[in-house]
Amino acid sequence: NPRNVFRWEVSSPTFSSGVVWTTNVDRTLTFDSFPFLSRKDRSVKYPEDLPITLPNLLRFILHHSDPASVPQNLANPPTKECLQSEAVFQQGHISHLEREIQKLRAEISTLQRAQVQVEAQLSSVRRDEHRLLRQKQTLEKQHSLLQLHSQQLQALYEQKTRELEEVARKLQELADASENLLTENTWLKILVATMERKLEGKDGAESLPPPQEVGSDHPEPPGPPRLPGSTPLPSNSSSTLASERSNENRTDKLLK
């Protein structure tokens, strides 16, 4: 179409379209108005003092695509069909641009929703991080308390062990003393039994009639010395002592 002398490109990192205008860029907008000597007669240069933005580009394109803005050639005036086709073309072009703008807005909305979701996930991750950090601090405090409690229990265990050893030592001493007392008690019982037998033998000797006196020319039989006025030992004293010794030996054997 001889009236469409512009070719323009819009750069965008996300969207692309393969129609009259395309988007395949970095972050800058590039506008090509054929600034060469070979450009067409009806080409128009984009104003240098006007910022290159999408609204400005659309206004510039629509303004210079309007048949009213194009100087009429008196020799070849446009026909009615030409004007109608041009109007249809411009309307289709505008509709196409509106659809592309709607697509861009939809993509922007999608990106905004995705951004909101990512921010929500990031906030959740940060909350989890703070929660885990608090749990870590709590566990560290509990670990310190457990270590302190373990040290206290260890000290208490050592103290109780020493006390038990002391109690065991005292119990052993008491057991030894009890055994000694038991032995002494046994010996006392033996001694009491011996004394009782001696007393019984003495009483039996006193109940017997006195022996006949013998002349002084017969010497007295040898024996242990007696005090004046003491009672003579009975004749069976040797047998009594032998029985006491045998009883003592049996007691020793029982104790062993």
Q: Which pLDDT score, from 0 to 100, does residue 15 have? A: 42
Q: Is residue 198 domain-resident?
A: no
Q: Examine residue 32 and state whether it is found in any structural domain, yes or no.
A: yes
DSSP for 119-153? HHHHHHHHHHHHHHHHHHHHHHHHHHHHHHHHHHH
Token output for 30: 């590039």
**Gap between the Cα atoms of 15 and 105, Å rounded:** 11
**Does 29 have pLDDT greater than 70?**
no
What token pair was written down for 3?
A: 């009236």
Please give the single-letter amino acid code of residue 36: F
Helix (H) or strand (E) holding 204: helix 80-207
Find, among 58, 54, 57, 62, the residue nearest to 12 by Cα: 54
Share of residues in the chain with pLDDT > 90 (%): 36
The pLDDT value recorded for residue 17 is 43
Residues paired with residue 9 on neighbouring β-strands, in sequence order: 22, 30
What are the angstrom distances between the C-alpha of 233 and each of 7, 67, 69? 160, 172, 172
- 13-34 average pLDDT score: 43
211-245 confidence digits (pLDDT tens): 554 444 444 444 444 434 444 444 444 444 455 55
Q: How confident is the model at residue 52 (pLDDT cuts 50, 70, 90)?
A: confident
The more confidently predicted of residues 255 and 66 is 66
55 and 49 Cβ atoms separated by less than 8 Å: no
Q: Which one has a higher pLDDT value, 75 or 177?
A: 177
Check residue 4 and give its pLDDT. 38
Predicted confidence band at 42 (pLDDT cuts at 50, 70, 90)? Answer: low
In a domain, 53, yes or no: yes
Assigned domain for 107 exists? yes
pLDDT the model gives residue 64: 74
In a domain, 87, yes or no: yes
DSSP letter for 34, please: -
Range of the domain at 85: 7-70+81-116
Return the structure tokens found at 16. 């692309």
| 185 is a domain residue | no
pLDDT tens digits along 167-193: 999 999 999 999 999 999 999 999 999
In the predicted model, is pLDDT for residue 63 greater than 90?
no
What SS3 class is residue 157?
helix
- What would you report as the CA-atom Rg of the chain, rounded to the nearest whole angstrom? 68
Distance, CA of 168 to CA of 165 (rounded, Å): 5
What's the average model confidence in pLDDT over 78-85?
71
pTM: 0.34
DSSP structure class, residue 71:
P
Is pLDDT above 70 for 19? no
Give pLDDT, residue 212. Answer: 53
pLDDT at residue 87 in the model: 78
Highest mean pLDDT range out of 201-210, 226-235, 244-253?
A: 201-210
The number of folded domains in the chain is 1
How confident is the model at residue 88, as a pLDDT? 79
- Helix (H/G/I), strand (E/B), else coil: 248: helix
pLDDT for residue 254 is more than 60:
no
23 lies in a domain? Answer: yes
Cα three-residue angle 203-207-213, rounded to 5 degrees? 120
* 141 in a structural domain: no
pLDDT digits (tens, 9 = 90+) for 83-124: 777 777 788 888 888 899 999 999 999 999 999 999 999 999
For 7, the enclosing helix (H) or strand (E) is strand 7-9
As given in the structure block, the two tokens for residue 153 are 């229990």
Of 142, 127, 255, the residue nearest 190 (C-alpha): 255
